[in-house]
Amino acid sequence: MEIITSSKAMQERALQLKKQGYSIGFAPTMGFLHEGHLKLVTQSLQENDVSVMSIFVNPLQFGPNEDFEAYPRDVERDKKLAENAGVNILFLPERTEIYPNEPSFEINVKNRTGVLCGRSRPGHFNGVATILIKLFNIILPDHVYFGMKDAQQVAVVDSLIKDFNFPIELIPVETEREEDGLARSSRNVYLSDEERSQAPHLYKGLQKGSEAIKKGEVNPSSVIHIIENYIKTNTNGKIDYIEILSFPNLDTLEQIHGKIIIALAVKFSKARLIDNIILEIHS
């Protein structure tokens, strides 16, 4: 596995690969890799000549009271996991390589962000859009791989690529779960033992909601109440949001129909977890 730390060297390498006619698959990560990240690589390897992973904890997408400093990091372990997964090039820039100066441009994401994490993390997706424009231009991928656990990120990247005409195809990859159903997340390490045993109930709650919808419930509030009660009964987590929206437009719904997302965020003592289910309802 090739490790590149300079933006210029990475871009030159990508340009060289493109000139040689190779396709590039790209999985952007913030490191502390888990099965979910590695699954992105597995799929990229199947669909591209060269697979690039980036590890960069992007300060711009953390709010002032969020966990940028505390975000888990273990670069040496990540290098081994990436190499074992088959990553061809690991892009591992320092902060000064990505932001040598204060950025001259601010990106304001107007659509698909007034809901879900966009509402509880103002500015988060502006930071995500900024780093992705940069990474797309440095790595020049044909395909980019994003996990569906952050479904809103997938929705925003979808519109970023379309709105700015990037010559890139977005490949959303299904959420990777522990055996008990908990969505894999770098932040899971911050759960206490008790919280870890409760955390699978987030997904179980989503499944309860999904079952109700499949049985014919069309009222979003009723479904949300089912999930809310289930999570309150089975965990000590503090519900940040439970929402049912159209996907990928993330519009609010009077009635449940079409392609929809049931998404939630729950705060435990040191970790805020997110999860979702997407389903298609044709009445």
- Which residues belong to the active site? 37
Q: Judged by CB under 8 A, how many residues of this single chain contact its own copies? A: 31
Rg, Å, the chain Cα set: 19
Interface with its own copies, residue 50, by CB under 8 A: no
108 binds its own copies (CB under 8 A): yes
Does residue 196 bind its own copies (CB under 8 A)?
A: no
Residue 17 in contact with its own copies, rule: CB under 8 A: no
Residues whose CB falls within 8 Å of the CB of residue 137, separated by 6 or more in sequence, listed in order: 11
Q: Which is nearer to its own copies, 3 or 15 (CB)?
A: 15
User: Which long-range contacts (C-beta less than 8 Å, at least 24 apart) are formed by 210-218?
Assistant: 210/262, 210/277, 210/279, 213/256, 213/260, 213/262, 213/279, 213/281, 214/279, 214/281, 217/256, 218/255, 218/256, 218/257, 218/283
Q: Does 2 bind its own copies (CB under 8 A)?
A: no
Options 21, 216, 254, 283; binder of its own copies; rule CB under 8 A: 21
| 127-156 binders of its own copies (CB under 8 A) | 129, 133-134, 137-138, 140
Q: Which is nearer to its own copies, 21 or 216 (CB)?
A: 21
| Shortest Cβ 205–its own copies spacing (Å) | 30
Which residue's CB is nearer to its own copies, number 48 or number 210? Answer: 48
Q: Does 94 bind its own copies (CB under 8 A)?
A: no
Site for its own copies contains 116 (CB under 8 A): no
CA distance 117 to 248: 14
Helix, coil or strand: residue 115: coil
Is 261:278 a contact under the CB 8 Å cutoff?
A: yes
Distance CA 30, CA 28 (A): 7
Closer by beta carbon to its own copies, 164 or else 189 = 164
